[in-house]
Amino acid sequence: MQHKIIFTIILTIVISAKAVTQVDSEGCKDHPIFNRISNFYIIECSENYNELALPTSSNETITKEGNVTKLLYAFNYESGANPPSTMQVIKNYETAVLKNGGKKIYSNTEEGNATLTMTTRDIEYWVMINRTSGDPDICEEFYLYVIEIKSMKQEIQANEMFEILNKEGFIALYINFETGKSEIKTESQKIINQIVQMLKDNPGLKINIEGHTDNVGSVESNQTLSEKRAEAVMNAIIALGIENGRLSSKGWGQTKPIADNKTEEGRSKNRRVEIVKQ
């Protein structure tokens, strides 16, 4: 009889320990850019190339396409702690993104969702948090989606650029900008330098800089964005010593696509700057 009591106590301890240290579903792990929130474990996961609609306001979304990691986190009540609020969960991810130079696109704790974005090296990340329960004060389960979009890369020398201009009259360049903005990313400075070198090597050359966008967003906002991006490239060239009389800029918005806007690859090609020989 005494042996049975001892066995029962040991069994209870083992079961309790297993409950406290909940195990992730087989094959599931955290996304490498984020640390896990305490006392949560993964009960569902997937990773594939897909497109996803992310909220940008209470009634608007933006669709992004890339490698999508989907993780469903659940709170472990056996830990003895209280589950965090939706605001605490969202703020956790928002802080991590902001520390890496990213930004918040949208957040609503009542609805239980948020959209964040950031870029590191050659990858653009879009992050979405979705609470599964209805109570904003208790976040028992939430989905974390991370979309990875590789930036368009282009290596071209000044002499090659000039040859294409002479032959075709224009050249499409993939200059990377901050999402939805006209700030040129650091990795695209090499392309700017090559444009400047081409103009210095050919003092009689005059060019027009034309900005183009994909069809995501309104026609008006894309038109404005294309104009500002073309002007930003022109100003970057002038800042490196090229006379402004040799340059002009124009934006075409989404009116001149060169690829299918239904795919991310096509939209990436449409987001371009063209150098046109005058």
Say what the pLDDT of residue 15 is. Answer: 35
Report yes or no: 153 and 147 within 8 Å, Cβ to Cβ.
Answer: no
Average pLDDT for consecutive 10-residue bins of the chain (278 residues)? Answer: 42 39 88 94 93 90 89 94 95 93 92 91 88 88 93 84 95 86 89 96 96 91 95 97 96 95 81 95
Q: Which fold has domain 23-150?
A: Alpha-D-Glucose-1,6-Bisphosphate; Chain A, domain 4 (3.30.530)
Block residue for tokens 């022109």: 234
What CATH architecture does domain 158-277 belong to? 2-Layer Sandwich (3.30)
pLDDT of residue 263: 76
Q: What pLDDT is attached to residue 179? A: 72
Tokens of 218: 């309104």
**Range list for CATH 3.30.1330.60 in the chain:** 158-277
Closest Cα to residue 33, out of 101, 135, 107?
101
E strands, 56-198, are 61-75, 103-108, 113-120, 123-131, 141-150, 170-173
Angle between helices 158-168 and 189-201 (to 10 degrees): 70
Q: What's the confidence (pLDDT) of residue 54?
A: 94
Token look-up 């990858």 returns: 123
pLDDT at 121: 66
Given a contact cutoff of 8 angstroms between Cβ atoms, the answer to whether 116 and 90 are in contact is no
Provide CATH 3.30.530 ranges for the chain. Answer: 23-150
